[in-house]
Amino acid sequence: MTVREPVVVRAPAKINIHLGVGPLRGDGFHALHTVYLAVSLFDTVAVRPGEGLSLTLSGEGAGTTTGPGQVPGGPTNLVWRAAELLADHAGVRPDAAMDVVKRIPVAAGLAGGSADAAATLVALDALWGTRAARADLLALAAQLGSDVPFSLTGGVALGTGRGEQVSPVLAGGRWHWVLGIAGEGLSTPAVYAELDRLRATGRVPDGTEPTSAEPVLAALRGGAAGELARSLANDLQPAALSLRPDLRRALRAAEAAGAVAAVVSGSGPTVAALAGDEEGAVRLAAELAGVGVFRSVRAVTGPVPGARVVS
Ligand code: ATP
């Protein structure tokens, strides 16, 4: 009997280097104007032939059973849902043994679940030989979650709609970041709800004019870290800080440790600290690991490609 090698796909974490949040739409989502950057922190999904679907999870956070960091092990996991969706689309039986190794911290604003979903679509498309058109994979990805299409494409992209409509952005460089991972995760819906609350009380602008992405797009074309630093923006940051006031200290710690700028990534609580260059990132990571405000610290670069077969 021949044992088929697994198909292994890795998919990157993202940070939002710009997150303009518009008004709440009728469907419960906010209109977004965001700039995604894929960074070199990857989850991997390995798939093998199986009878029905099965899923194992390992790595950081995979065993968490409570709070917003909980990762379901069964049919509600995004990996499982991606498998069912692709099988349904392609008219094949959903048969596969799926193993996920999570290195992207959970509920951290880094789109780890979305990375896993995108990786699963690519892996099972290869395992099952379904040869889905790229446009179809992107449409399936959008059904799974707002960040999933970007996890497929990677690189740098502008996200509109609820973030699921992605178009590539020209970037004239590669940037070095340090991710400061806070102790406990934050629920994305809770952070958006807090933004709505703050907007209703007039404590932050109401969202009819979300922060423009133009400065960050110009900085990306130019490539200089200093210019990018001046243009980072996240309309969700006040809401994340309101729910987790300790993040203020984390942002200050990043700047004091030599970051050219620091911003909350997406809905948080991860802090993305931009370094001037690679050496600066190594120094910044060492410094931040020592200040005791983060659970863990990772030096990463971006842009990197989206979900890709690695074996
Ligand atoms: P978002 O993509 O909404 O910004 P996030 O990046 O902050 O979210 P994720 O790590 O993607 O956070 O997890 C958010 C929630 O998604 C988890 O709390 C978990 O309940 C659910 N989830 C489902 N499948 C997965 C998966 N494969 N990995 C991680 N979380 C998953």
Closest ligand 1 atom to 76 CA: 23
Q: Which CATH class is domain 7-169?
A: alpha beta
User: Ligand 1 pocket check: which of 10, 43, 66, 78 to mutate, most ligand atoms within 8 Å of Cβ?
Assistant: 78
Closest ligand 1 atom to 108 CA: 7
- List the end-to-end C-alpha distance of the chain, in Å, as a whole number: 21
Q: Which pLDDT tens digit goes with each residue over 191-250?
A: 999 999 999 999 898 888 888 899 999 999 999 999 999 999 999 999 999 999 999 999
pLDDT-derived band at 66 (thresholds 50, 70, 90) equals low
- Residue 64: pLDDT over 60: no
Residue 102's contacts (CB-CB under 8 Å, 6 or more residues apart) are 43, 57, 58, 59, 60, 61, 62, 71, 112, 116
Residue ranges of the chain that CATH labels 3.30.70.890? 175-302
Closest ligand 1 atom to 78 CA: 24
Collapse the DSSP code of 210 into the 3-class scheme (helix H, G, I; strand E, B; otherwise coil) and give the result: coil
| Cα torsion 247, 253, 256, 257: sign | negative
Q: Give the least confident one: 56-70, 132-146, 149-163, 269-283.
A: 56-70
- Residue 78: pLDDT over 70: yes
Q: Give the closest residue (by CA) to ligand 1 atom 27.
A: 113
Å from CA of 30 to ligand 1 middle: 18
Contact 142, 26 (CB under 8 A): no
Per-residue model confidence (pLDDT) at position 220 = 96
Å from CA of 105 to ligand 1 middle: 9
- Residue 104: pLDDT over 70: yes
Å from CA of 256 to ligand 1 middle: 30
Q: Give the least confident one: 59-63, 243-247, 280-284, 299-303.
A: 59-63
Q: Which pLDDT tens digit goes with each residue over 242-282?
A: 999 999 999 999 999 999 999 999 999 999 999 999 999 99
* CB-neighbour burial class of residue 258 (10 A; exposed 0-12, middle 13-18, buried 19+): middle
CA distances for 17 relative to 61, 84, 243, 263, angstroms: 24, 32, 21, 8
Q: What is the mean pLDDT of the chain?
A: 93
Q: Give the closest residue (by CA) to ligand 1 atom 2.
A: 111
Active-site residue 206, yes or no? no
Q: Give the closest residue (by CA) to ligand 1 atom 14.
A: 107
Q: Give the closest residue (by CA) to ligand 1 atom 3.
A: 188
DSSP for 174-202, written as a single string: -EEEEEEE-SS---HHHHHHHHHHHHHTT
Contact 235, 211 (CB under 8 A): yes
Pocket of ligand 1 (CB under 6 A): 68-72, 77-79, 106-114, 116, 147, 188, 266-267
Averaged pLDDT for residues 15-43 = 95
Closest ligand 1 atom to 81 CA: 24
Per-residue model confidence (pLDDT) at position 176 = 98
pLDDT-derived band at 101 (thresholds 50, 70, 90) equals very high
Residue ranges of the chain that CATH labels 3.30.230.10? 7-169
Q: Which pLDDT tens digit goes with each residue over 154-193?
A: 999 999 999 999 999 999 999 999 999 987 889 999 999 9
- State the binding site for ATP: 105-115
Q: Give the least confident one: 55-69, 70-84, 219-233, 279-293.
A: 55-69
Active-site residue 246, yes or no? no
pLDDT-derived band at 65 (thresholds 50, 70, 90) equals very low
Å from CA of 270 to ligand 1 middle: 14
Averaged pLDDT for residues 26-35 = 94
Per-residue model confidence (pLDDT) at position 207 = 84
- Residue 3: pLDDT over 70: no
Å from CA of 103 to ligand 1 middle: 13
Per-residue model confidence (pLDDT) at position 4 = 75
What ipTM was reported for this prediction?
A: 0.93
Q: What is the CATH number of domain 175-302?
A: 3.30.70.890
Averaged pLDDT for residues 127-150 = 97
Q: Residue 263: how many CB atoms within 10 A of its CB?
A: 24
Q: Which of 43, 116, 125, 147 is catalytic?
A: 147
